[in-house]
Amino acid sequence: MSVFGKLFGGGGKGKGPSPQEAIQKLRETEEMLTKKQEFLEKKIEQELQIAKKNGTKNKRAALQALKRKKRYEKQLDQIDGTLSTIEFQREALENANTNTEVLKNMGFAAKAIKSAHENLDIDKVDDLMQDITEQHEIAQEISDIISKPVGYGEEFDEDELLAELDELEQEQLDKNLLDIGGPETVPLPNVPSTSLPSRPAKKEEDKDDMEDLQRWAMEAL
C-alpha cells in the first residue's frame, strides 16, 4: 500500500478515494500542520526568552533552553517542507479534478450535438439551403418589380430628361446674368421739385461792365 493510500485509508484492492475526498483530506492535513507551526513558533520564542534570562545567572539552564529551541526549529523546518509537498499535491489534484470536469462536460456537449444531428441528412440540408437561396432570389425579383414606378405604361429616357433639365437651368442662368448687367437695374436720381435760381443774361452783365469802365475813365481825367 502506498503512503497516500495509507494516509487516506484506501486498501490495495478497494476503490481509491475520489479527487474531492483526497483534496479535502489534504486541506485538513494542511490546517493541522499550520497549527503545529504556530505552536512551535511560540515554543521557540519562549525558549529564546529563557536563554536570555538565564544567560548570566544560570548558564546551564540557558544552554538547555537553546537546545530545545534548536529542536523546535528543526521540527518547524520539517513541517515547512511537508506543507510545501502537500500544497503541491493538493494543487495537482485540484487541476486534475478541474480537467476531469471539463472533459466530462465537453463529452456531454459532444453527445448532445451528435444527438441533434442524428435526424439530419447533409444532402437534405444542402437541398434545403439551395431552396432557401432560390426563394430569396425570387422574392428579391418580385420586390424589384413592385418597386418600379408605373406611369401609364410610358417610359422616358432619363438621359434626355437630364439634358432638358440642364438646358432649362442654363437658360435661367443666362436670364439672371442679363438682369444683373442691364441699365434698368441702375436707379436714376429723382427730378428736383424746386425750381433753379434764375441767372442774368450775359449781355446785361457785359453792358454793366462797360458802364463801370467808362465811369472809371472819366474820373481819371
116-149 residues labelled b (16+ CB within 10 A) or e (exposed): eeeeeeeeeeeeeeeeeeeeeeeeeeeeeeeeee
Q: Which candidate, 44, 47, 52, 50, places its Cα nearest to that of 75?
A: 44
47 found inside a domain? yes
H or E, element range at 21: helix 19-53
Query: Would you say residue 40 lies in a domain?
Result: yes
Within a domain: 55: yes
- The 10 Å Cβ neighbour count of residue 207 is 11
Please check whether residue 217 lies inside any domain of the structure: no
Predicted confidence band at 82 (pLDDT cuts at 50, 70, 90)? Answer: very high
pLDDT band, residue 83 (cuts 50/70/90): very high
Q: Is 46 domain-assigned?
A: yes
Please give the model's pTM, rounded to 2 decimal places: 0.43
More confident residue, 205 or 56: 56
Amino acid 27: pLDDT: 92
Q: How confident is the model over 199-207, as a mean pLDDT?
A: 56
Predicted confidence band at 25 (pLDDT cuts at 50, 70, 90)? Answer: very high
Q: Per-residue pLDDT tens for 93-140? A: 999 888 988 999 999 898 888 888 887 778 888 888 888 999 989 998
Does the structure show a pLDDT above 60 at 199? no
Summarised one tens digit per residue, pLDDT across range 58-79 is 889 999 999 999 999 999 999 9
Tell me which of 43-52, 114-123, 191-200, 202-211 is least confident: 191-200
CB neighbours of 55 closer than 8 A, spacing ≥ 6?
A: 62
| Residue 201 located in a structural domain | no
In a domain, 63, yes or no: yes
Return the percentage of the chain with pLDDT > 90, whole number: 30
**CA of 176: how far to CAs of 109, 165, 170, 173, in Å?**
79, 17, 10, 5
| Mean pLDDT, the chain, whole residue set | 79
d(CA 20, CA 27): 11
User: Largest Cα–Cα distance in the chain?
Assistant: 178
pLDDT at 49 over 90: yes
Q: Kindly state whether residue 45 falls inside one of the protein's structural domains.
A: yes
Q: What is the number of structural domains in the chain?
A: 1
203 vs 23: which has the higher pLDDT: 23
DSSP secondary-structure letter at 9?
T
Q: Kindly indicate the confidence band of residue 209, based on its pLDDT and cuts at 50, 70 and 90.
A: low
In this structure, what CATH number is given to the domain that contains residue 77? 1.10.287.1060
179, pLDDT greater than 80: no
Span 144-164, pLDDT tens digits: 888 776 655 456 678 888 888
Domain extent, residue 96, equals: 19-117
Q: What is the pLDDT confidence band of residue 165, given thresholds at 50, 70 and 90?
A: confident
Q: Is the pLDDT of residue 218 over 60?
A: yes
